[in-house]
Structure 1
């Protein structure tokens, strides 16, 4: 029988993208960590960069909670499982509080708040307004009365006088103002086309420390811990799988974009995850039966990826010999013949006979739902959801490349050779766990050859 715990939990949402919610979140995580608390972090929506930043700071994985990709039960299950053993939970929102997929609430921070029953802190950039900020918070509060918008934080405030004007603007609202964070050029994080730059762990900790100092000076952190407790239904330990299968996972500065839930799901099915670096390692991990190559920034490290000729040849040899390989976005680029960036062309593994090139403008962004075709090596029918965000394109797709996916109104995607599948779509396995099972089944079959 499952047990129920109650812990403090809250969502840090933004009035819009660029409100500063990531820095406020990092500062809040660090402030709570300084109190000796075990903090579990989450990220609303499909972004895989912010969870990596959370994890680097806290030393424990951060998980995505996306109501469109995972469904209501999926986000409840992940929230409960990941919060096991934590003293409190902090969820970073996505875009503005009510922004989600299209015109509906699916995928939004507000939708997640309602499903989990977690109260919201609204972060608003007050840099160019004063009394109007009270109207903004009031509007957010009444827009959907089912959302528990309980607190607000004003960010990038110019002076103590400005802060007083902002506090006065809140008199008509039932939302509690926790405080105002002052404008500070040292409180910033750079951005790239895929979102926030993936800083080193040390840099993340330094940024979080500065943000925590600012929050401790101006925000009532303890009020959040004294807020409503959220029920977390504790689940029992899963029965361990006796037969382990070693799966190589590309993990370094070039490839780091993974949904943590995907990796957990593979482990629950018997995977022993074996990290390796396409930048540094000249050989693959010993006795692996499959490869998982996620997204990242291969264009930044294209020259170094080209230099590691031994590993490139090894990956191609294994793939052409039938080893199951699954690659997403940056992984797809690595499996092509070449990668073109800033006028320079670098050789990649050559499993697929195409070249990818970086563009100055974004090529694709948005949620995706794909249907499997008979050409998919891991699942022959059904649908699965994911997200696509990239600035690269395939220059010319040669004839004869099989497609594993069908997209509504978009033709075929998911390119296959032997048991290799590469796609620009980052799949979330929770939307169809049978895909993870199929991948593991193919790995076990490959690993049993000759035994």
Structure 2
């Protein structure tokens, strides 16, 4: 199968590849093209901004979180019908989870047979950029470096030397040269870009980036490169294999989606639907009443920055606590698990939370867990059978502190990652499973069906 596609990569994090990708997505959208964005790696915030820039929700691709066949199937399903699919890489082009570069952006580009365009920060650099480009092109086999976009360039003299150097010493085309921006249109903080839910002038910022891309990048040449990508090798494994309809009774699973918690892979929600659940979005902040639910999914997000609002809604906190005590199946990831604790400490103030779990969380100045995770289920729970191998990721600045009078039970023993305490994650209590670890449903196909089964059982018992 063939459709126009490309991967936008950088030499490292912070080189401006997200700004370049956002600009390309908005520029092509403004030209009337249907743009499907993808984000390589475990990233919710960049993916959200890519969706806003393109007008279509972004899909995450990661060879660590799912099999190669699943990844190809996901890319093929979500990319079909778009005029161009644009994949934003993560970290440096060849950076993976080991010295071989496993799960790198370059590996992803090979899997989906996509040309790579490299965004390079040219601050305080001229001729050396040619050596970097030549080195990147020759570094790995089976990898198509189709062009470069030079970012943060100075005046005309700087741009002239950069372009001539690359043209003299390499055969890689320069597809655009972007100026230094006096101010980042989209501010950043400890977890990357500030989320769109907290930043007001979204469309204005994206229009600035789109206009810059139209003025400074050869969009026609980029579209030509994307259109000549060639075929993607067909996959052997169907995308939704392992996720089957559990029941047509459609138990209701509430999914918290508000300003505080909104980190979800859309495939996780889609898998719950395919397994038979009816999804109802609910809020922990709003006073709007909840429907009757048979399960609850609390994703990640920023409960710390919304802690005053979360804490102020005492009725909602008590309602969640009663639901947990009643045996409601509850699955919580990172920010969602923080809400289930006794309190969250942020900037010197403790904010009471739902009190479902005997723990507190405290925000720290440095990351307390960052990167891919792997482990095995060691305790009985309703979501994963004992012995299940789990892969995922964590990215949190909060530290989990269990109460001294508690005897916590953890379902997941990590072989890679920090988790909640000494390499353990997934605290269980009644039918609650909560931890720092994020999973992708395509890499843990049993999760959706088991969640729906538990919700169905709760529904029957309640009746």
Q: TM-score, normalised by structure 1?
A: 0.94
Confirm or deny that 1:88 pairs with 2:84: yes
- The answer for the alignment partner of 1:445 in structure 2 is 457
1:189 corresponds, among 186, 207, 220, to 186
Question: Counterpart of 2:461 in 1: which secondary structure?
Answer: coil
Question: Counterpart of 2:402 in 1: which secondary structure?
Answer: coil
Confirm or deny that 1:408 pairs with 2:415: yes
Q: CA deviation at 1:375?
A: 2.6
Deviations 1:16-72, CA, capped at 9 Å, x for gaps:
111100110111001111121111110011111111111233333211101111121
Gaps spanning 5+ residues in structure 2: where? 417-421
Distance 1:10 1:76 in 2: 14
- The answer for the alignment partner of 2:57 in structure 1 is 61
Distance 2:156 2:184 in 1: 18
Question: Counterpart of 1:32 in 2: which secondary structure?
Answer: helix
CA contact (8 A) 1:384 1:428 kept: no
Q: CA deviation at 1:187?
A: 4.3
- The answer for the alignment partner of 1:359 in structure 2 is 364
Larger mean CA deviation between 237-246 and 99-108 belongs to 237-246
- The answer for the alignment partner of 1:176 in structure 2 is 173
Confirm or deny that 1:425 pairs with 2:427: no
2:96 corresponds, among 93, 100, 113, to 100
Question: Counterpart of 2:98 in 1: which secondary structure?
Answer: coil
Deviations 1:127-181, CA, capped at 9 Å, x for gaps:
1101111111111111113111111000011011111101111122121110200
Question: Counterpart of 1:70 in 2: which secondary structure?
Answer: coil
CA contact (8 A) 1:335 1:351 kept: yes
Confirm or deny that 1:295 pairs with 2:300: yes
Distance 1:270 1:39 in 2: 30
What does 1:10-89 correspond to in 2, within 5 Å? 10-89=6-85
- The answer for the alignment partner of 2:354 in structure 1 is 349
CA contact (8 A) 1:375 1:402 kept: no
CA contact (8 A) 1:16 1:124 kept: no
Closer/same/farther in 2, CA of residues 439 and 104 from structure 1, 3 Å limit: farther
CA contact (8 A) 1:242 1:270 kept: yes
Larger mean CA deviation between 241-250 and 221-230 belongs to 241-250
2:254 corresponds, among 242, 248, 258, to 248
- The CA RMSD measured in Å over matched residues stands at 2.0
CA contact (8 A) 2:299 2:332 kept: yes
CA contact (8 A) 1:379 1:435 kept: yes
CA contact (8 A) 2:357 2:429 kept: yes
Q: CA deviation at 1:106?
A: 2.2
CA contact (8 A) 1:282 1:311 kept: no
Distance 1:162 1:134 in 2: 13
Deviations 1:219-238, CA, capped at 9 Å, x for gaps:
11111211214546798999
Distance 2:86 2:329 in 1: 37
- The answer for the alignment partner of 2:374 in structure 1 is 369
Distance 2:115 2:282 in 1: 40
Distance 1:396 1:307 in 2: 23
Question: Counterpart of 1:122 in 2: which secondary structure?
Answer: strand
Distance 1:58 1:251 in 2: 21
Question: Counterpart of 1:127 in 2: which secondary structure?
Answer: coil
1:214 corresponds, among 202, 212, 215, to 212
Closer/same/farther in 2, CA of residues 159 and 281 from structure 1, 3 Å limit: same
- The answer for the alignment partner of 1:224 in structure 2 is 222
Q: CA deviation at 1:326?
A: 0.5
- The answer for the alignment partner of 1:383 in structure 2 is 389
Closer/same/farther in 2, CA of residues 408 and 397 from structure 1, 3 Å limit: farther
Closer/same/farther in 2, CA of residues 116 and 347 from structure 1, 3 Å limit: same
CA contact (8 A) 2:39 2:61 kept: yes
